[in-house]
Amino acid sequence: MISRPGLQKIFVYAPDFYPNRGGVADYGYNFSKQLQKNGLLEKVIANIRPSVAYDLPVMHDYEKNERRPGNKLLDNLFLFSKWNTLLHYGLLFIAAYRFIKKNIVPVKDAQVIITAYYDHPTGVFIRVCALLKIKYEIVFHGLDILTNLRTHPKLFVSNILNASLLITNSKATAKTLEKKIEQKLPPVYVLYPGLATEKIKDIKLLSVQEIEQKFGLLLGNKIILTCVARLIKRKGIDIVIKAMSDVVKVHQNIIFLIVGEGEEATNLHELIKAQQLEQTVFILGNISDVEKFSLLNISRIFVMPNKSLNDTDMEGFGISFIEALYSNNLVIGGTHGGAPEAIPNGEMGRKINFDEENSDKKLAEILQGIIPRLKDKASYDAAGRMYVSGKYDWSLLFDSYMKYKLSTQ
């Protein structure tokens, strides 16, 4: 445990938090758990209504509401729409001011860590922290930088420049921040997402038969590929489906399991049908952590072809790669954003530029070359798990972060 007076009153402002799914929610929860473990956490301010019992001190009485034009009376009239927007932001400011004044200001040496900054209400909350002289740090995940610079650039830049520390989930996100903000930044620290490996070790994995029964699959003697991701364009899942059309001609015993939900689900279902892959590619939707790690445990290859969409989007890191590696998968991902930092060089990892045309053909070639040479899965155990345990365990990552903080006091 690392502890020191002056670092002990930390509030975590987490707009995206457990039980929500995804890398950002996972980051906020595990960061908070490490603060708690080291005696540094005061409370988590989570903007979601609890549906589970928390093992953390979580506050739910701060409501954030995003402005959605068209929802208010007379929003169809320009002047009324502007007035409604101004009123909305004014009420946001008042709510943030009252909450911070009541809950954070009275706590001596209080600090705030904002674990996600994707919306304007979060920007207002940060602005009020600055006005009330509350020391704060902001975590960036990649896309949040691009989004805020398009929507609220002045407030975003001001909030960044007033931070005591900027935390990024990868070197790529740090470079994006430095490139896009053309002013001298506060200190920037790269704190990679990690895995709570001790917790994962305690998961009782499902057997192959239990997985088959749960999802209605036949997995015997199958070479299993997986992808765990939100079903959005950036994840490039359509590329894998197209590649499978070529791969299945050579390797009929292959199956591709997609875990996740999102706006591209309908398009992906239609693509599967168009490619006549209904018996090869399956979208399983959102599943539990037990089910996820059970699937990864029997999977041989994990593929997530992240792409930049002409530099309008980015994969800040890719915690799914780390989960797959820990579960002994060979992983394949893109060369854009922070994904290359998550994917090891050598036998356990492959990186492809999925922004290029015909990248599905390139992926198919790589898969057709890998599959005949797949070793017994047990041989990957030491390499994959050792790689993750030595580099991406949350305890190790957090210790390094705290040592950095203490060195700058």
**CATH at 119:** 3.40.50.2000
Q: What pLDDT shows up at residue 274?
A: 98
Kindly state whether residues 85 and 111 are assigned to the same domain. Answer: yes
Kindly state whether residues 202 and 185 are assigned to the same domain. Answer: no
| pLDDT by residue, tens only, the chain of 409 residues | 554 544 568 999 999 998 888 899 999 999 999 999 999 999 999 977 666 778 899 987 766 555 444 454 544 544 555 556 667 778 889 999 999 999 999 999 999 999 999 998 999 999 999 999 999 999 999 999 999 999 999 999 999 999 999 999 999 999 999 999 989 999 999 999 999 998 999 999 999 999 999 999 999 889 999 999 999 999 999 999 999 999 999 999 999 999 999 999 999 999 999 999 999 999 999 999 999 999 999 999 999 999 998 888 889 999 999 999 999 899 999 999 999 999 998 888 999 999 999 999 999 999 999 998 876 555 555 688 888 999 999 999 999 999 999 998 7
The partner residues of 351 in beta bridges, in order of sequence, read 333
Question: Is residue 4 included in any domain, yes or no?
Answer: no
Question: Is residue 303 included in any domain, yes or no?
Answer: yes
Kindly state whether residues 147 and 165 are assigned to the same domain. Answer: yes
Kindly state whether residues 277 and 296 are assigned to the same domain. Answer: yes
Total structural domains in the chain? 2
Question: Is residue 45 included in any domain, yes or no?
Answer: yes
Q: Is residue 10 a contact partner of residue 35, using CB atoms and an 8 Å limit?
A: yes
Q: What pLDDT shows up at residue 143?
A: 92
Q: What pLDDT shows up at residue 75?
A: 46
Q: What pLDDT shows up at residue 83?
A: 52
Kindly state whether residues 48 and 107 are assigned to the same domain. Answer: yes
SS3 content of the chain, % helix, strand, coil (to 5): 45, 15, 40
Q: What pLDDT shows up at residue 50?
A: 64
Distance CA 329, CA 323 (A): 9
Question: Is residue 74 included in any domain, yes or no?
Answer: yes
Kindly state whether residues 208 and 99 are assigned to the same domain. Answer: no
Question: Is residue 5 included in any domain, yes or no?
Answer: no
Q: Which of 281, 365, 267, 376 is nearest to 330 (CA)?
A: 376
The verdict on whether omega for the bond into residue 121 sits within 30 degrees of 0, i.e. cis, is no
- The 3-class SS string of 280-317 reads CEEEEECCCHHHHHHHHHHCCEEEECCCCCCCCCCCCC
Residue 178: CA atoms inside 13 Å, Cβ hemisphere, count? 13
Q: pTM for this structure?
A: 0.90
Q: What pLDDT shows up at residue 45?
A: 95
Q: What pLDDT shows up at residue 373?
A: 80
Question: Is residue 306 included in any domain, yes or no?
Answer: yes
Q: What pLDDT shows up at residue 67?
A: 42
Q: What pLDDT shows up at residue 8?
A: 66
Kindly state whether residues 293 and 176 are assigned to the same domain. Answer: no
Kindly state whether residues 173 and 204 are assigned to the same domain. Answer: no
Question: Is residue 49 included in any domain, yes or no?
Answer: yes
Question: Is residue 2 included in any domain, yes or no?
Answer: no
Q: What pLDDT shows up at residue 70?
A: 46
Q: Which of 313, 318, 307, 317 is nearest to 236 (CA)?
A: 307
Kindly state whether residues 95 and 153 are assigned to the same domain. Answer: yes
Which helix H or strand E contains 32, and what residues bound it? helix 23-37
Phi, psi of 195 (to 5 degrees): -115, 145
Distance CA 148, CA 164 (A): 19
Residue by residue, DSSP assigns 366-394 as HHHHHGGGPPPTHHHHHHHHHHHHHHSBH
Give the pair of three-digit tokens for residue 314.
């980015």
> Which structural domain, as residue segments, surrounds residue 150?
10-194+393-407
Kindly state whether residues 182 and 58 are assigned to the same domain. Answer: yes
Kindly state whether residues 147 and 212 are assigned to the same domain. Answer: no
Inter-axis angle of helices 378-391 and 319-326, nearest 10: 130
Kindly state whether residues 27 and 120 are assigned to the same domain. Answer: yes
Residue 312 CB coordination number (10 Å): 11
